[in-house]
């Protein structure tokens, strides 16, 4: 089932969400269609036009946004004077509710990828009445053990890259939460220290990517690189702002709260998160979910078979109005 053709927004704007932040949003598709909101990954990756193509534009009113500090939202996390203390999971969830009310939407389907799946799950757990369905891919829950896997556990599979990743840190920062240690460097008043840390962080992210290719073009943009590295380390260094008890996962613990919300989980069989069994545990703890595992695919929402399953899910939910 192919992706839908490219469409352009018919409305867009900058929503004042407080704390000096303005969140970019756009809407495309059918103004009278079933509302759906897209939650991008990262945190800090920003949205893009490709996400619009997972939805039938004749059936859906498709809402995209750039979460605080990234994409076209302001202020951008790449700017040293941007206040990151007002960029947390709770803040973004509040932004979603503010945007939903601003657009006059009662309920919307929530579509999320990677970090967007964490955010979508937590949003649905705290505002279940606002969510008609969930469609999630490259699924994560934001648990501390997931962060530890990605920042330390995978080092045994990529030893050379991991050695370079550790070497950028001072010796007293090489134990414990590596994201927090990197975030301290990225928050340094010295711009050279910040730049080196952001580059080292994205080099590690690149090392974990499938080969070929071994490069990720967006990381070559210094503004994106700094904003992304700063935001990811800010979240991963602070338990994804999910509160106490996040070692095994607050989102996973609260999965029963999703009981009345239908959901589809589309996940790659080669996703590194499978080493922890996260998506299977979530599926079994969430009575209203279906799990679709795509063999020979990693952490990749754009893979053809993954995209087919995602489009099939949104097509099916389009009829449930």
Res 305: pLDDT: 93
Kindly state the tokens that stand for 203: 């080099």
Does the predicted model carry a pTM greater than 0.85? yes
Q: What is the DSSP letter of 154?
A: G
pLDDT at 321: 67
Would you state the pLDDT for residue 219?
92
Give 134's Cβ-side CA count (13 Å radius).
35
How many Cα atoms occupy the beta-carbon half-sphere of 305 within 13 Å?
Answer: 11
CA distance 109 to 205: 30
pLDDT band at 1 (very low <50, low <70, confident <90, very high): low
Model confidence at 213: pLDDT above 60: no
3-state class (DSSP) for residue 135? strand
pLDDT, tens digit (0-9, with 9 covering 90-100), for 296-313 = 998 888 888 999 999 999
Q: Does 196 sit behind a cis peptide bond, omega within 30 degrees of 0 on the bond before it?
A: no
Tens-place pLDDT, residues 253-299 = 999 999 999 999 999 999 999 999 999 999 999 988 999 999 999 88
Mean pLDDT of the chain: 95
Share of the chain above pLDDT 70, in %: 98
pLDDT band per the 50, 70, 90 thresholds, residue 211: low
Share of the chain above pLDDT 90, in %: 88
Q: Give the pair of three-digit tokens for residue 320.
A: 């449930």
Three-state DSSP state, 262: coil
What is the band of 83 on the pLDDT scale with cuts at 50, 70, 90?
Answer: very high
From CA 271, how far away is CA 296, in angstroms rounded? 9
Count CA within 13 A, CB hemisphere, residue 194: 19
User: What is the set of active-site residues?
Assistant: 114, 271, 299
Task: Please answer whether residues 118 and 248 qualify as being in contact, where contact means their C-beta atoms are separated by less than 8 angstroms.
Answer: no
Residue 21: what pLDDT?
98
Q: What is the mean pLDDT of residues 205-234?
A: 87
CB 73 within 8 A of CB 44: no
pLDDT value of position 216 = 83
Residues 63, 14: Cα–Cα separation, whole Å:
13
**pLDDT tens per residue, range 124-176:** 999 999 999 999 999 999 999 999 999 999 999 999 999 999 999 999 889 99
Going by pLDDT thresholds of 50, 70 and 90, the confidence category of residue 214 is low
């Amino acid at each position: 089932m192919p992706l839908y053709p490219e469409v352009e927004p018919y409305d867009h704007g900058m929503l004042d969400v407080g704390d000096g932040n303005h969140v970019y949003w756009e809407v495309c598709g059918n103004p009278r269609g079933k509302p759906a909101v897209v939650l991008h990954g990262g945190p800090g990756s920003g949205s893009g036009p490709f996400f619009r193509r997972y939805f039938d534009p004749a059936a859906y009113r498709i809402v995209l946004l750039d979460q605080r500090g990234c994409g076209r939202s302001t202020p951008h996390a790449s700017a040293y004077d941007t206040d990151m203390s007002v960029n947390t999971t709770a803040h973004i969830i509040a932004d979603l509710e503010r945007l939903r009310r601003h657009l006059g939407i009662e309920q919307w389907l929530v579509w999320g990828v990677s970090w967007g799946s964490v955010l979508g799950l937590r949003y649905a757990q705290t505002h279940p009445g606002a969510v008609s369905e969930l469609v999630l891919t490259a699924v994560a829950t934001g648990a501390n053990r997931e962060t530890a896997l990605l920042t330390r556990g995978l080092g045994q599979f990529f030893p050379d890259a991991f050695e370079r990743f550790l070497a950028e840190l001072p010796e007293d920062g090489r134990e414990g939460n590596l994201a927090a240690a990197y975030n301290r460097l990225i928050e340094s008043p010295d711009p050279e220290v910040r730049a080196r840390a952001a580059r080292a962080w994205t080099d590690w992210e690149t090392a974990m990517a499938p080969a070929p290719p071994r490069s990720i073009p967006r990381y070559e943009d210094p503004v994106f690189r700094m904003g992304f590295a700063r935001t990811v380390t800010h979240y991963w260094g602070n338990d994804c702002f999910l509160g106490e008890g996040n070692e095994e996962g607050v989102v996973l613990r609260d999965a029963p709260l999703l009981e009345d919300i239908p959901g589809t989980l589309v996940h790659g069989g080669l996703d590194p998160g499978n080493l922890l069994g996260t998506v299977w545990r979530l599926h079994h703890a969430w009575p209203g979910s279906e799990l679709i595992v795509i063999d020979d695919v990693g952490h990749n929402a754009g893979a053809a078979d993954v995209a087919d399953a995602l489009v099939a899910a949104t097509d099916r939910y389009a009829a449930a109005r």
